[in-house]
Amino acid sequence: MRKIFEAPQFLQMLAYSCLSLLIIPSSVTAQDEIPLDYKLLFEINFDDKIALDDFVMTDPKAWRIGNSDDNRVMELYRKSEYEPRVRSPFNIAVIKDHLFGSFVLEVNVKQTGQEYGHRDLCFFWGMKDASNFYYAHLASAADEHAHNIFLVNDEPRVAIAGKTTAGVQWGLTWHRVRIVRELSEGTIKVYFDDMTTPIMEATDKHFTYGYIGFGSFDDVGMFDNIKIWGEPVEQERALFH
């Protein structure tokens, strides 16, 4: 049994074993339809939610069910009181009780902070524990620590994208993000509004199955209409305690 978030005040323990081998399709891109052998594994829009019971957070007090245009959303509204063991994002909400391998993720997002170079939202996958995961950092401007795909592997985050852009224009509006992870080739593609051309691409095989989450390095924002397709992952247990 391994801790996801190591600070004692958080609700987070991961316990799972014995993942079955799966046959993964050879390629998945956002230009294609969802692969026929993928199923809708997780979906939530928060409209009928009064609490975020489907998630475990680095700091539950930083998250709430919020409102945007008379619509209920998952809102990160303040910085989390959390200190990661290695340099990596502070604000994370992870879908509990679900492991994902190859997947297609789509989510609506709205960045609600002030404009500056590192104004960001983050998307996490392949998470094994608090110090082992991938994340995409979408920011207003790119540099060596911003707007890239990062690997956290028991060491401070390292940028791994072979392709990226100069940044995204958040404004004060909603945007659509799509992330495509394909295990057999190790490919990662990130799309922002335009679902035909990725803004980031990477190839890496450090982590396979793991948890998916949402958040920010140290900013605020909203998340809604989350959908994740993939092949079902068989396991004895996939539980946070």
Paired strand residues for 44: 226
Q: Can you say how many angstroms the Cα of residue 156 is from the centroid of all Cα atoms in its chain?
A: 18
Res 35: pLDDT: 87
Give dist(CA 63, CA 120) in Å, integer. 16
* Domain 39-230: homologous superfamily in CATH: Exo-inulinase; domain 1 (2.60.120.560)
Res 232: pLDDT: 82
What are the extents of the domains in the chain?
39-230
- What does the longest C-alpha to C-alpha distance in the chain come to? 45
Q: Can you say how many angstroms the Cα of residue 120 is from the centroid of all Cα atoms in its chain?
A: 13
Res 26: pLDDT: 32
Res 72: pLDDT: 97
Compute CA distances 158 → 189, 202, 222, whole Å: 17, 12, 26
Res 107: pLDDT: 98
DSSP 118: T
Secondary structure (3-state) at 79: coil
Q: Report whether 118 contacts 205 (CB < 8 A).
A: no
Phi, psi of 34 (to 5 degrees): -60, 130
Q: Each residue's pLDDT tens digit in the chain (241 positions)?
A: 345 555 434 333 333 323 332 322 333 444 457 888 999 999 999 999 999 999 999 999 999 999 998 899 999 999 999 999 999 999 999 999 899 999 999 999 999 999 999 999 999 999 999 999 999 999 999 999 999 999 999 999 999 999 999 999 999 999 999 999 999 999 999 999 999 999 999 999 999 999 999 999 999 999 999 999 998 876 644 444 3
Compute CA distances 164 → 10, 12, 122, 224, whole Å: 34, 33, 15, 25
Structure tokens, 179: 């992330």
Phi, psi of 44 (to 5 degrees): -155, 140
Q: Can you say how many angstroms the Cα of residue 144 is from the centroid of all Cα atoms in its chain?
A: 20
Q: Where are the alpha helices (DSSP H) in 29-165?
A: none
Task: Return the HEC string of 166-179.
Answer: CCCCCCCCCEEEEE
Query: 42 Cβ partners below 8 Å, 6+ apart?
Result: 95, 98, 212, 226, 227, 228
Query: 162 Cβ partners below 8 Å, 6+ apart?
Result: 201, 202, 203
- Which H helix or E strand runs over 201? strand 200-203
